[in-house]
Amino acid sequence: MHSARPESPRTANCQLLYFTTYSVTADGGTLAAITNAWSTHPEGASLARIDRATGAMEPLAVFAGPAMQAYPYFARPRSADPKQDYLFNGTVATHGLNKSSPCLHPASGNLYFVWGREDGWGQLDGVNLHDGRRRTILEIPPDRTVGYTHLDAAGEHMLLSLADRRILDFGAVRQGNREMSEKYTQHGLTTRLVGVELATGRQTLLWEEPAWVTHVQYHPRRRDLVLYNHEWTWPLGLERIWLKADGGERVQVRRKGRPIRFRVSPDLGLDDVAHEVWQENGEAVIYHGVRWDAGEYPEQFVGRAPVDPGAPLQEISIPRDRPSFYGHFFPSRAGDFVITDAIANEAGQQQRRGNLISRLNLDWERGTMDVVPLCVSDTSWHTQDNHPHPVLTPDQKEVLFTSDCSGMRQIYSVPAEA
């Protein structure tokens, strides 16, 4: 295995952008990061650029206070159950950076992000990693909150999930995220999926989804097909992943009756699937699944859903001699391998958490998987901010991930091959 290389300074907490976007420019030279380096609040969140050659970090967009509560996993309020205090992510703020929103176009270096103003309005801004120029693109009304965002391949259009802001009020005191989703449905709330022309700020309402939607992703080669989710809607194994084309019907990607190759699931609804990402050639969606009741540790699998809704799903389980726990899965451009933070060595197994960054080499013809550990991550997993969320660089040669193993949250890199 390799030794991971620190990419961010140990003087401030830093983390990658969310894993549905790249965090480094196409030439591999400049890294985009979320950091508290210039904030007056210990849970502050600003945006920075890091020169990978020198390690120098400079501000791009500075916010003095903590991150806004735009999405419940960030600045998450305390649970009604004291046993869930470990999920608490700090102060709940009504303005500041929306940490789930930054999205980078590697070729141009344009970084787009949403932040909340003190008057309750949101704002979508863009800043360039190379010259630091920043501009305002549009405003977001106070009754809507952004889950995640996504850029098309050309970096000219952005996809926004605009959920009803009352979802955050539901989260103030709760037993779990399922309760939030159920209340969202009970009140008949919707999520607006909106396309934005970045040059002009012109918005197009694509449709309103009668569900709590957070992950949204354009197809890699076309904007008329969108991958999206229903957040925390039961059963998780069936209700999570959806596709919709312009003017077309919603397609439930993983549903009863759709055949599965390689893995046998007695009840698809008992599986927990998430972290869906487009295979970059656009031929399929890659996702991650868990069967929690599989014995000493969960059964984890990588799934591949062809865009053709009639084609069978393909699901390959991580070998049972490779213990794994909750984690994230990021596919290569061709989908022939996946990077994950879920694999555990003996120490990780004792702590019941993934502590390795690994490469899963997948043979979709035979239904087999080769697990190749790349390095130790040893993060605490205490909050979403400290999750590794490993991603490949645009050239597919390196893996970037976040870890607080040093006592400070830092970004690390490791070669993508053993």
Interval 128-148: pLDDT, tens: 999 999 999 999 999 999 999
Taking residues 228-242, report their average pLDDT: 95
Helix (H, G, I), strand (E, B) or coil at 172: coil
**Reported confidence tier of residue 294, pLDDT bands at 50, 70, 90:** confident
Give the helix/strand (H/E) hosting 238.
helix 236-239
pLDDT of 73 > 80? The answer is no
**Reported confidence tier of residue 220, pLDDT bands at 50, 70, 90:** very high
pLDDT of 35 > 80? The answer is yes
The Cα–Cα gap between 98 and 231 comes to 18
Give me the pLDDT at residue 173, please: 73
pLDDT of 199 > 70? The answer is yes
Q: What are the chain's domains?
A: 257-418 (2.130.10.10)
Taking residues 73-86, report their average pLDDT: 72
Taking residues 332-355, report their average pLDDT: 94
User: If you average pLDDT over every residue of the chain, what do you get?
Assistant: 93
Q: State the number of CA atoms in the 13 A half-sphere of 106 facing the CB.
A: 18
**Reported confidence tier of residue 295, pLDDT bands at 50, 70, 90:** confident
Query: What are the backbone dihedrals phi and psi of residue 8, each rounded to the nearest 5 degrees, phi first?
Result: -125, 155
Give me the pLDDT at residue 86, please: 67
pTM: 0.95
**Reported confidence tier of residue 81, pLDDT bands at 50, 70, 90:** confident
The Cα–Cα gap between 242 and 344 comes to 30
**Reported confidence tier of residue 87, pLDDT bands at 50, 70, 90:** low
Interval 238-265: pLDDT, tens: 999 999 999 999 999 999 999 999 998 8
The Cα–Cα gap between 386 and 250 comes to 34
**Reported confidence tier of residue 384, pLDDT bands at 50, 70, 90:** confident
Residue with tokens 């999206």: 228
**Reported confidence tier of residue 98, pLDDT bands at 50, 70, 90:** very high
Interval 154-196: pLDDT, tens: 999 999 999 999 998 887 777 778 888 999 999 999 999 999 9
Q: Of 166, 192, 194, nearest to 181 (Cα)?
A: 166
